[in-house]
Structure 1
Amino acid sequence: MASAVHHNCHRLHALLLRPLHAPSRHPRLSFLPCSARLAAPGCRLGTHAAVALAEPDLVPPDPDPEGEEEGDDDDAQFVVVTFYKFVPFEDPHAEVASHLRFLQGRDIHGRIYLNEQGINAQYSGPRKDAVAYADWVKMDHRFCDMLVQTSPALTGHAFPRLKLRYKPALVQLEGGSLHLPLLDSSMRAKPLTPSKWKERLEARACLDLSSSETSGRKLLLLDVRNDYEWDVGHFEGAQRPNVDCFRSTSFGLSEDASDPLNGIDKEKTDILMYCTGGIRCDVYSTILRKKGFRNLYTLEGGVSNYLRVEGPAGWVGNLFVFDGRLSLPPATFRRSWPSGEEAAVEKERWVGCCYACRSKVVELRHRNCANIDCNRLFLCCRWCAKELAGCCCSDCKAAPRLRPLLPGHQRYLKWHVYRDGLSTPVATDSKDNPDCCC
């Protein structure tokens, strides 16, 4: 009898820890014919006319019959799971071995890094395997309160393979991160729940120049991501980062006039930091804290968690993610799907900006510059992709070492393959060759 009670309690505990299911169906892009473009056929490169290339179409989830239980089909659906946690590991290499043993025989692809400061994981797999791994990690009391985020994988695995290993830095940062006080929560930015973050955004919108001068306090919104991520989507009022890789981030470290933290009052300025999932803000806030910035706040769970809880309020565009999906509409993360007027409003906000001509595009598809020596990852409309032969600018189009323009969602192999001539390049589908997270 006692053993049966213990078994049932264990099952209940596992169910309570299991993340909420994402909708079984997801947004799709319905491409418009070329004749539907708003730009005139004779429009020259560099004009600012809008180019309507594709319109996201919200597809509501299939209603579950009342009383129907989850079956094998639900467990087989592919999802992407992300989580991180700063905890001390005395022997991180032993932890890596333990995680590898658990994942034996499970269909998991992704990036899972561990070191003396904790774990950072982004992976995909059938829901049954993906959730089982997260539940197993949370069985360790040090991870019991860890936020686990789950979203639809759209088309099978979002990562090409599993990379689970020890890594000196949980995120790519110049000089590494082991020297940073990541394990000291007082040195990291104070986390704000999505609802509190939304309140701050609304307060910031109402704060005019005269009131800020009177009160002496100011609020600064800091996007701790890359420029191409900002191009896909960002919070209203956030300045576009001037970096293309997180390791090059230098907010608060220079006297450059373009640095939004240059010259601000460190005592009277509230700095609201955000990134995709939260870890980059946690890491970088320790650097700013050591530089004397006192009032640091971060969005708990990052933008993905905010979109799940609050929807796109204050957010413009889609969310760039570092896996084969690349760009996701806000509704991908919602607990419930919008309908009617709310869906129409969201559709109007799903707009990006072409890097080459600055026209507005709804088809948020990235490509790498065809110039091997550039390889910039940028957002591009189909008009400019054809006009510039897959390059990001006219200078790159005239470069000596060019790759061919790839159609549709195909993407190049890693750029060093073309540079070094190691093999005959073959185009791959985007999900097989995602750019590595910074």
Structure 2
Amino acid sequence: MRCSAPLSLSRTLSPSPVPSSFASRVSRRLPLGFPGRAAAAAVSNWKCIRRACFCSAAPSPSPVPSGECDPPAETEDYVVVNFYRFVFVQDPQELLAQHISFMEGRDIHGRIYLNEQGINAQYSGPKKDALAYVDFVKEDQRFSDILVQTSPSLYGCHVFPRLKLRYKPSLVQVVGKISHLSLLDSAKRATPLTPSQWRIQLEAINNVNNLSNVDINRNCIILDVRNGYEWDIGHFQGAQRPNVDCFKSTSFGLSESEVLASDPLAGVDKDKTDILMYCTGGIRCDMYSTLLREKGFERLYTLKGGVSHYLQAEGSSGWIGNLFVFDSRLSLPPSSYNPEAESQLDGVEEVKSQHEAFARCYVCGSHITELRHRNCANIDCNHLFLCCRECSANLRGSCCLNCTTAPRLRPLLPMKGHQKYEKWHHYRDLIQAQRRS
């Protein structure tokens, strides 16, 4: 069953039964799932995803134009800005007050956190306001040389619902906090590699892998320091990652008492193994490499500025898929960062086919080409998942069969474009209006 037109609200909230043939087919597949993330067995996983991404990034993704993402009457050049810096701040509350004062009268939405260990910022706004804040931050000598990364917004609007500018005990969310780590000592963190240095290393490692030289391969590991759902839509060729959905709670490479088969760092020579780690913007690698350094790993390297910086500088060379971002855009293709580099790549058609071959539907396991997560139509689930067109249509935007009969269902969103759900009261009011009429 496919929907050629959007479902009506009344049909969505009082759904007809899911086709029996589809239900039986999905019920047979669900226990198998795709990399252990089948919707029927994903209770702990989706809670982690929901906290890590949607509760902090885009609370309720709806079709544009709507809500805070209505394009302005006169289209402005909106950008998304990311930067961080680990540096000692003696009085973070005083610094916070200065930043709050600067923000008055400026149109900036996002998450900006300050504490004794520095700053971590992701925000959106009109280019003038967004870059004015960068200039303001750089006036402080402690932040004068920060690496600032910008990327395009969508539809000339904000990608965050509001501004959160506050003191936060941990700039990075991990179990056990990070205040005890020696993050301010650069010698305790991994050695940063520029995008060009990373590309050279990546090509060398993958060439070795192609030759199946196990001994050399084991002496160099590319480690993905991100969450499972980020990996699912894009990653570097030859990379490894632990079989966990939330990296903030991982113990891989850190446990003294147990060695897990799924741990990429299990049994490696800590003195001789080169560990090249990457994340979206770099901050998680700085934190995690400090933990690994404490555990005796000596040869640690990180991608400076993360994947976003790499895509800007090198294009998609060695990268497969899209980049997951923690805002309402959710997914960006490499061309968003560097259109010129993408147009100059050799074998572009081959690269595109690779991108389309690896991602899988969480429900049925089939290949998908739309590398963008969606939220479950059941507002009380809100699970962030990848879905093929058939499963999306048959489950009416839900992540599993159980959610299709939930009491608070939102309408099926289109597969393409910037999808963002409204708040529940919007649908509740429409339902009540329909019933009264």
Alignment TM class, shorter chain as reference = 0.7 to 0.9
Q: Does 1:300 align with 2:304?
A: yes
Q: Provide structure 1 residue ranges, at least 5 long, that are not aligned to the other structure.
A: 1-32, 35-41, 48-72, 414-422, 428-438
Higher relative contact order (CA 8 A, sep 6+): 2
1:158-169 equivalences under 5 Å are 158-169=159-170
The one-letter code of the counterpart of 1:137 is V
On the 8 A contact 2:398/2:404 being kept in 1, the answer is no
CA distance in 1, matches of 2:154, 2:84: 23
- Structure (1 or 2) with the greater strand fraction: 1
On the 8 A contact 1:389/1:404 being kept in 2, the answer is no
The aligned counterpart of 2:158 is: 157
Find 1:377's aligned residue among 378, 384, 392: 384
**Identity score, percent:** 59
The aligned counterpart of 1:314 is: 318
- Structure (1 or 2) with the greater helix fraction: 2
Find 2:353's aligned residue among 342, 348, 357: 348
The aligned counterpart of 1:284 is: 288
Using a 3 Å threshold, how does the CA distance of structure 1 residues 212 and 267 change in structure 2: closer, same or farther? farther
Name the count of aligned residue pairs.
355
CA distance in 2, matches of 1:216, 1:319: 26
Post-superposition Cα deviations, 1:47-74, rounded to whole Å, max 9, x if no partner, equal: 9xxxxxxxxxxxxxxxxxxxxxxxxx99
The one-letter code of the counterpart of 1:184 is D
CA distance in 1, matches of 2:406, 2:261: 35
The one-letter code of the counterpart of 2:131 is V
The aligned counterpart of 2:18 is: none
The aligned counterpart of 1:174 is: 175
121-130 vs 255-264, which moves further: 255-264
On the 8 A contact 1:368/1:412 being kept in 2, the answer is no
Deviation at 1:204, TM superposition (A): 0.7
State the SS of the aligned residue for 1:284. Answer: helix
CA distance in 2, matches of 1:337, 1:158: 25
On the 8 A contact 1:110/1:123 being kept in 2, the answer is yes
Find 1:272's aligned residue among 271, 276, 280: 276
Q: Does 1:239 align with 2:267?
A: no
Deviation at 1:292, TM superposition (A): 1.1
Deviation at 1:139, TM superposition (A): 1.8
- With normalisation by structure 1, the TM-score equals 0.73
1:38-437 equivalences under 5 Å are 45=26, 76-155=76-155, 156-208=157-209, 211=213, 213=215, 218-254=219-255, 255-334=259-338, 336=340, 338-339=342-343, 344-351=349-356, 352-370=359-377, 375-394=382-401, 396-397=402-403, 403-404=409-410, 406-408=412-414, 409-411=419-421, 424=425, 426=427
The aligned counterpart of 2:51 is: none
CA distance in 2, matches of 1:127, 1:225: 29
Deviation at 1:291, TM superposition (A): 1.1
CA distance in 1, matches of 2:390, 2:339: 36
Using a 3 Å threshold, how does the CA distance of structure 1 residues 107 and 237 change in structure 2: closer, same or farther? same
On the 8 A contact 2:81/2:124 being kept in 1, the answer is yes
The aligned counterpart of 2:43 is: none
State the SS of the aligned residue for 1:207. Answer: helix
- With normalisation by structure 2, the TM-score equals 0.73
CA distance in 2, matches of 1:412, 1:262: 45
On the 8 A contact 1:189/1:296 being kept in 2, the answer is yes
On the 8 A contact 1:252/1:262 being kept in 2, the answer is yes
Deviation at 1:350, TM superposition (A): 3.7
Using a 3 Å threshold, how does the CA distance of structure 1 residues 311 and 260 change in structure 2: closer, same or farther? same
Deviation at 1:242, TM superposition (A): 2.8
Using a 3 Å threshold, how does the CA distance of structure 1 residues 273 and 172 change in structure 2: closer, same or farther? same
Q: Provide structure 2 residue ranges, at least 5 long, that are not aligned to the other structure.
A: 5-20, 31-72, 429-437
What is the aligned-residue RMSD (CA, Å)?
Answer: 3.2
Using a 3 Å threshold, how does the CA distance of structure 1 residues 95 and 207 change in structure 2: closer, same or farther? same
Deviation at 1:263, TM superposition (A): 1.7
On the 8 A contact 1:319/1:328 being kept in 2, the answer is yes
Post-superposition Cα deviations, 1:243-302, rounded to whole Å, max 9, x if no partner, equal: 333322222134221111122211121111111000011111111111111111110000
On the 8 A contact 2:378/2:410 being kept in 1, the answer is no
Deviation at 1:131, TM superposition (A): 0.7
CA distance in 2, matches of 1:216, 1:383: 40
Deviation at 1:216, TM superposition (A): 9.2
